[in-house]
Structure 1
Amino acid sequence: MAPAQTLGRADIALIGCVKTKAGYPMPARDLYLSPLFLRRREYAEQQAYRCYILSAEHALVPPETVLAPYDTALADQTSEYRRAWGQWVLAKLVRAEGSLRGRIVEVHAGDEYSRPIAHLLEQAGATVRRPLAGLTLGEQLAWYDQQPKDLVPTQARPVETQPSVVPSTSQAVVAALLRYGREHQAERADAPPRFTPDPDANTLVLTDPFAFLLAVLFDQGIPAERAWQAPYELRRRLGHLDPAGIVADPKGVRAAVAQQPALHRYVNNMSVWVVAAAGLVVDRYGSDAGLVWSGEPRAADLAARLRTLPGIGQKKAAMAVEILAREVPRGLRTRPQVG
């Protein structure tokens, strides 16, 4: 293969999803696990001002959006679905970005994802680039490996304010596909999410609000599957997950986190965060972590509440809000009854 051509930065990069996924809900940027996707994501995050993921199930997805695993593949869908899916992608992109006129949109995806959208993007005024079109899997991996790693976008280019227009003839198709997505999601509404393969650990974070908050705390720098199992293992080692008891025994908490196999790679930080979070839950919420999201707060207000907890920043708060929006109706509301 000839040496890879270094391209100028794109305004928007669209990354195709892949079949191999984690087995539990995660931010979309971390859900897909294949080497090809990881290289696509790394390239897009460094070489484009903004990037989105192309999903057969969800159309266009911001990388930070938490998704549950799914099995939909665009190659398995009818031509009608793929056409409607392309319109759905365009509609969501225009809604997120405004005008596409004069923008460079770079597509890093297979033909089944690129073909339904390329002509629509061009009709909306974008310049479409597909630098890997026609390359084999091995050639694609080699192309990414040859790209420079030091170009990090800092600020998006200014664009004209004239809005792109989604063709009116496609609006009914887009609406139908959105409706299909809602109905398809409803079919799975009774199935609880699978954060970790351990069913007891999974049940704990879905029924004990403080365990849920601890899982959010642990979800940093280690595999999500391990993070969401940590509250269950911490309870086993301590004999409880009572916030007041945790505040009263910081040395015991650190010993439990550090016990091999350690619950987290950052034993000191995580131990301090667990105790501090327990203290805040005791002082501000009367030991009931479920009150953090009581009163049906707006997403922004809930995220602000979560960010007051030590160790929870913007990314973790957004993930927690997304999960709680789905799971609070199931019963993740107040502390479990002690029998």
Structure 2
Amino acid sequence: MTVTLRLAQNPDADALLSRSPLAALIGMLLDQQVPMEWAFSGPYTVLQRLGGSDLDARLIAGYDPEAFAAVLSDKPAVHRYPGSMAKRVQQLCQYLVEHYDGDASAVWADAGTGAELLARLVELPGFGKQKAQIFLALLGKQFGVRPKGWREAAGAYGEKDSFRSVADITGPESLDKVRAYKQETKRAAKAAKESKESKA
């Protein structure tokens, strides 16, 4: 299945995400406390700085930690917290080497059910349940990875025709809808907190 992601909103970075399962996983890992485009452009920036034609989990896993932190810290930085994220990316790659022979796609290739796939994703370093569910939804909606029960395992992120997360972004229009949803969710959470505090 040919996949065309538009998460980085940059043709070269999106092309890498579309063809490289490892790039997609690293992009998802980086997607916290920075704008989505910044996070998902990160794998392409790392590839440019490391050289080669594709990201290699074994290469990253075995890289000198200080040198790899420098790769992410060089201007422009790959993340707001390049040092800590460099450590997390290496931990992810080390886990993939140890458990999946360095093949990121093996995480989902033979998963029999959505629940099994979710469990595998949650076990990845840097992936909590919410991040795992979003990535599971991305796999199902855009990569065609749809083991039985995948929508249920992905929770609300698996809902059809929703605009909740990166799993639903296919271009600028859907990106705007997801941003609007996230802003509304933040507003609602803030209002609920203020209401609770005023009653205390």
Q: TM-score, with normalisation over the residues of structure 1?
A: 0.40
Q: Which residue of the other structure, out of 105, 108, 128, is the alignment partner of 1:313?
A: 128
Give, in angstroms, the shift of residue 191 of structure 1: 8.1
Query: Identical aligned pairs, as a percentage?
Result: 35
Work out the CA distance in 2 between the residues paired with 1:193 and 1:271: 24
Query: How large is the Cα RMSD of the aligned pairs?
Result: 2.0
Q: Which residue of 1 aligns with 2:158?
A: none
Q: Which residue of 2 aligns with 1:87?
A: none
Work out the CA distance in 1 between the residues paired with 2:128 and 2:8: 22
* Deviations 1:266-295, CA, capped at 9 Å, x for gaps: 122201111111111111111111000011
Residues 1:223 and 2:35 are matched in the alignment: yes
Work out the CA distance in 1 between the residues paired with 2:112 and 2:34: 30
Residues 1:246 and 2:60 are matched in the alignment: yes
Work out the CA distance in 2 between the residues paired with 1:286 and 1:191: 24
Q: Which residue of 2 aligns with 1:258?
A: 73
Question: Matched residue of 2:144: which SS?
Answer: helix
Aligned ranges for residues 189-228 of structure 1 at < 5 Å?
192-228=4-40
Whichever residue aligns with residue 221 of structure 1, its letter is Q
Work out the CA distance in 1 between the residues paired with 2:34 and 2:16: 20
Whichever residue aligns with residue 242 of structure 1, its letter is D
Work out the CA distance in 2 between the residues paired with 1:216 and 1:191: 16
Greater strand share, 1 or 2? 1
* Deviations 1:172-203, CA, capped at 9 Å, x for gaps: xxxxxxxxxxxxxxxxxx88341122111101
Residues 1:236 and 2:48 are matched in the alignment: yes
Work out the CA distance in 2 between the residues paired with 1:234 and 1:226: 12
Whichever residue aligns with residue 227 of structure 1, its letter is A
Whichever residue aligns with residue 248 of structure 1, its letter is G
Aligned length: 142
Work out the CA distance in 1 between the residues paired with 2:3 and 2:47: 25
Work out the CA distance in 1 between the residues paired with 2:129 and 2:74: 29
Work out the CA distance in 1 between the residues paired with 2:61 and 2:84: 15
Work out the CA distance in 2 between the residues paired with 1:278 and 1:226: 20
Q: Is the 8 A contact 1:238 1:253 kept in 2?
A: no
Q: Is the 8 A contact 1:234 1:256 kept in 2?
A: yes
Question: Matched residue of 1:329: which SS?
Answer: coil
Work out the CA distance in 1 between the residues paired with 2:5 and 2:22: 18
Work out the CA distance in 1 between the residues paired with 2:140 and 2:3: 15
Residues 1:322 and 2:137 are matched in the alignment: yes
Please say which of residues 241-250 and 276-285 is displaced more in the overlay.
241-250
Whichever residue aligns with residue 210 of structure 1, its letter is L
Whichever residue aligns with residue 258 of structure 1, its letter is S
Q: Which residue of 1 aligns with 2:110?
A: 295
Greater helix share, 1 or 2? 2
Aligned ranges for residues 3-152 of structure 1 at < 5 Å?
none
Whichever residue aligns with residue 311 of structure 1, its letter is G
Q: Which runs of 5+ in 2 are unaligned?
A: 146-200
Whichever residue aligns with residue 283 of structure 1, its letter is E
Residues 1:278 and 2:104 are matched in the alignment: no
Q: Is the 8 A contact 2:3 2:19 kept in 1?
A: no
Q: Which runs of 5+ in 1 are unaligned?
A: 1-189, 331-339
Q: Is the 8 A contact 1:277 1:309 kept in 2?
A: yes
Work out the CA distance in 2 between the residues paired with 1:195 and 1:205: 8
Give, in angstroms, the shift of residue 304 of structure 1: 1.5
Give, in angstroms, the shift of residue 264 of structure 1: 0.7
* Deviations 1:205-256, CA, capped at 9 Å, x for gaps: 1110111110010000000111111000111011142111112212221111
